[in-house]
Amino acid sequence: MAVAPSSQAQAATCYGGAASWNSSASHDNVMLPNAISAPARWTTTSRCGDINFFVDEGTGTFNANVRVCFDRTGCQSSWKQFRAGDAEKWRVIATDVLDGTKFRIEIDYQFVPQGGRRYGGKVAF
């Protein structure tokens, strides 16, 4: 599902405040933010009503499931699938999130290349 802000100005405001993330693919699930993309938790703002996830194309084929884990209520049970061709597209991974909500993002890599690979992108919230 693509993000559909009601105006270009809203999209620019939401995505313009995005935080960067970086991760090494592994056979274990990865939680973001991590030591590379501190702080320990992200906190939603009034810039976006949803939590949006973006994968940089230059990082290679991103084959993973992604979900949001909230501090107060835990991880959502619905994983969002990211496959080849999903890079460079904003995707909503949680909707109608209240401002001031602390969260992390869990990545379950479905394919880990021999020797691993680094991935990166942005999160807008």
Rounded distance between C-alpha atoms, residue 76 and residue 70, angstroms: 8
pTM: 0.83
Q: State how far the alpha carbon of 72 is from the alpha carbons of 30, 91, 117, in Å.
A: 19, 23, 32
* Cis status, amide bond into 33, omega within 30 of 0: yes
Q: What is the pLDDT along the chain (125 residues), one digit of tens a residue?
A: 344 455 566 667 899 989 999 888 877 889 999 765 556 899 999 999 999 999 987 766 788 999 999 998 999 778 999 987 777 889 999 999 999 999 999 999 988 777 667 888 999 99
DSSP string, 27-44: SS-EEES-STT-SSSEE-
Rounded distance between C-alpha atoms, residue 106 and residue 74, angstroms: 11
Are the C-beta atoms of 37 and 51 separated by less than 8 Å?
Answer: no
Rounded distance between C-alpha atoms, residue 4 and residue 62, angstroms: 22
